[in-house]
Structures are given as C-alpha cells and as structure tokens.
A and B are shown apart, each in its own frame.
Chain A
Amino acid sequence: MTTMLSTQTDYDDLVRDDRVSGRVYYDPAVFEEELEKIWYRDWIYVAHESEIPEPGDYVTRRIGLQPVIVSRDEDRAIHLLLNRCRHRGNTVCQSERGNAHAFRCAYHGWTYNNRGGLVGVPYAAGYDGSFSREEYPLARVARMATYRGLVFGSMSASGPSLEERLGKAAKLIDQFVDLSPEGEVVLRSGVLKHSFKGNWKMALENSVDGYHPNILHHAAMMLITKGRKVDMESVFGEHTDALARDLGSGSAQLDLTPVNRERGGRVVPHGWSAEAWQQYQDAMGRRYGAGRASEIIQIGGPHFCIFPNIIFILNQFRIIQPVSVDETIVYYYPTMLKGAPTEMNQRRLAETYLIHGPAGRVAPDDFEAYERNQEGFRARTNEWLVLRRGLHRERRERAGTIAGHETDETTQRGIWRHYREVMRS
C-alpha cells in the first residue's frame, strides 16, 4: 500500500510580506492551481469593443488556457462563447479574427450562429427524434461585462461585479480613455506579440516596477532622451516625485502625475507638430471644457496594471497570456485616440513599434530579463526573491491605497498580497 503525500501548497509559506519563493514561478502544480483560482474565477480582460466594430466580426482569445470567441451579432450585441464544438470538442474557429455570422466546425460540420446557437448538423437523420438543437449551443463564458469599451469575462457565475473588481483601477481606465476627444480609444492598429520562456507573473510585476527602467533600459533611455532636455533620473531615479502605488486587489500603479505635470503631460516630448497639438487641445476643450481638458492633458496617461492580465503603459494595452508555467505571450496593442488628429495617432503607433517592437528599444530588454529570471530559478539554494525595498518608507493614503517611492517594491508587494489571498482561498 502506498500513502499519498499531501501536495497542497502552503501559500502563506511561499509568499511572505517581504519576499516570495521562486517556486511560484516554476512549479507546474502552482500553475495548475492558478488556472483554477485566478484565471477561471476572476474577471479576465479578453478584447476591446473596437476590435469587432462590424456585425459578424469576431476575434478568438483565451481565458487562461481556455479558447473563447468574442463575436458581435447583427444587432451589435457582443457574445463571449467557448470555442469548442458541442459535438466532439474541436475548436470551431481557428482564425485570430474574421467576419462570419455562422461558424462551422471543420471536423463534422456542426454549424453555429455567432450567438452560439446550433443551426444544423450534417446527415441529421442519424439522430433520433429526441435530438434537439437547443440542447447543443456553444457554451457561454459564465459572465461578461464591459467598462469603457474593455470586454471582460469570468468563468465563474458568482463573485464580485466587474466594477467592484476594478475598484480604484476604474478611475485610471477613465484617465486613459479620457485622453480621447471623443472619450473612446480604438484598437485597430495591429498588435505586437512577444513570446518568452518564463512565467506570466514576471510580466505583470515588471509592468509596475519603477526600480529597473534606468538600469535595465539604460541604453534605451539614453537613445530616447538623446538631444532632448529630458532627465530620466528625475523620472525613474532616486529623486523623482513619482510614486509606486498598491491600488488593492492586485492592481498597482506607477503614478507619474507629478512628473507629467511638470512636463505638460508627457515624460518624453511627444514629437507631433504644434498644429496637431493645437487641434488636439481644441478638440479636448470642446468635449470637456477648457479647464478640465487642460487638467486631463497635464495629468497625462496613467501607468498601471489590473490583476491578472491587463497593463496600461504609454499608448498601449498589454495583455498577458499564460501558455504554461514557463511560457507566456504578451500582446502589445497600440491604442488610437478617437477624435485626435491623425498625425498624433500616427506618432502613437510609431512610438509603440519603435520602443516595443522586436527590435525596439525597451521591450526586448524586458523579455531577456524574464528569461534570465526563469533560468536563474533553476538554482535552488535559497529560493527567495527579495521584495523588501521601501518597506520602511511606504505609507497608507487616505483613499486606502499604499504609496511608496517610485523605485520601491510597494507595487510588487501589493500584487503578491492579493495573489496570496486568492491562492489560499
């Protein structure tokens, strides 16, 4: 007789207040548990409404590892369906995007409308009278909700609403979207896809790590600021006024507002013409009034992440897609500001591929760092990752958030606190 050893993971042991064990990045059992407790329970960002503007449009995505279809029907309603034929389980859509009012499984031809209803099956006489199409629609993701055009799905039928879950991050989404003179961002300018051999949580943590930019991206910073009166030390250095903020629920922010205000809304000069800039300011003024428009522009775009899979930095949405415990894809979607001058949106697009493309100045550094991280975890003596930076100087703010110096690990600690709470539940 053999005795099964308990394989239950003690997350209080692995995730401490000032450090985490490397095991949370490489243990397949932890990854499997994350799928159940995070990816199949929480609200997960899946797409933006502007990606499927026309009736019949669809995109295929994943929630965790589960394939889903985001479709728009002829009444313009959005549906979030599982991409799995009800017959024998094939994915019915293979393309990443397309336009179709019906999906036909290539295996045996079962055909569904884009609301998920089963339209018909070949050789129907092979099914007896008790067979009903109504019993075999494509399954739906349990809950779907949108906020400012962002579409989220949850595999769990119960739990907090999306707005409850977004919490303080909702206002930062507003800040991002309100930069549009029409109050909408548009994601129809392609996507950069970066795959790396490392755990998904690295991309989330790194997105709000204010300690590394001037070090890992030093060469990029020199290139970006070359010939410009920009001192990156005052943005990501020791003497910056910017903050690292734990927003709660695993969301976190690098608050560059003080720096942005000093610099007219942008850390780095934007590079568009004075004429385009004036057009933009006028359009913003028409929508919000001159005072409010000026405030929105001065504050600039926010830099933050929402646990577990969406990041807002500069002009982009970044989406984290786990593949396995040690493989991840990060999608960089440049966003266009609806109603902004074309020149301005072209610059936003260029900024995305120049800085974050495969030969860009910043993103390749990050992916190299993630892979070195994963490699380093093979060394199993003293497995702790130290996250104590700034623990002594962070403070709770009146809003209930926790703020530290921008280079401090307040943001990582916030992410891990939430992670521990979710994983031990």
Chain B
Amino acid sequence: MRSSSDAIFQLTSEFAAVEVGRDVRGKGPRLMIHDMQSGRCIFLDPLELAALAWMRHEDLLPFLDPARRENGRHQ
C-alpha cells in the first residue's frame, strides 16, 4: 500500500526500484519505502531510521538474502 506522502521520489538501480517519501498520515512523520517491483511498502519511524544509521552495510546483508522472501515475513 502506497502512502499519500508529501514528497515522493524514486531511487532506481539496475537491481531495484523504490519510491521513498515522507508520510504524515499517522500521529507522527514516517519514511515510506515502496518497492516498485513487488508492490510492498514499509513505514519507518525516526527511531528505526536512527537505528539504521548506526548499522554497517554488512549488517544489512542478511536482509538482502533472497531466501528471506520465502519465509513468510515478507509475504
């Protein structure tokens, strides 16, 4: 589900295409990430985003394992 964000922009690479925007429908602002390939969407609050800022890219690699899409968490 895409959000009615007030500023959406697209980021694309040869591996993925996403829309990213600031979502304000909740009680506080969130970052909306819309995977244009699967149609899936996630809303990240500032604390979650701050946690991401502390990560190294290698910490994110488990999330890039294509097998994660098969275990139900992403279905």
Q: A interface vs B, CB < 8 Å?
A: 55-56, 73-74, 93-95, 98-104, 109-111, 113, 119-124
Contacts and interface: CB of A to CB of B under 8 A. Distances in A.
A73 B57 CA distance: 9
B47 interface: no
Contacts of A99: 13
B21 to A, nearest CB: 20
A122 B67 contact: yes
A120 B67 contact: yes
Contacts, number: 52
Interface of B: 13-15, 56-58, 60-62, 64-70
B61 A119 contact: yes
B14 A93 contact: yes
B64 A102 contact: yes
B58 A123 contact: no
27 contacts: A74-B58, A94-B14, A95-B13, A95-B14, A98-B13, A98-B14, A99-B13, A100-B15, A101-B60, A102-B15, A102-B64, A103-B15, A104-B66, A109-B66, A110-B66, A111-B64, A111-B65, A113-B57, A113-B58, A113-B61, A119-B64, A120-B64, A120-B66, A120-B67, A121-B67, A122-B69, A124-B67
Contacts of B61: 101-102, 113, 119
Contacts of A74: 56-58
A119 B65 CA distance: 6
Contacts of B15: 100, 102-104
B65 A101 contact: no
A295 to B, nearest CB: 45
In this complex, the member of B13, B15, B62, B68 whose beta carbon has the largest number of chain A beta carbons within 10 angstroms is B15
Contacts of A119: 61-62, 64-65
A217 B74 CA distance: 63
A240 to B, nearest CB: 49
Contacts of B67: 120-124
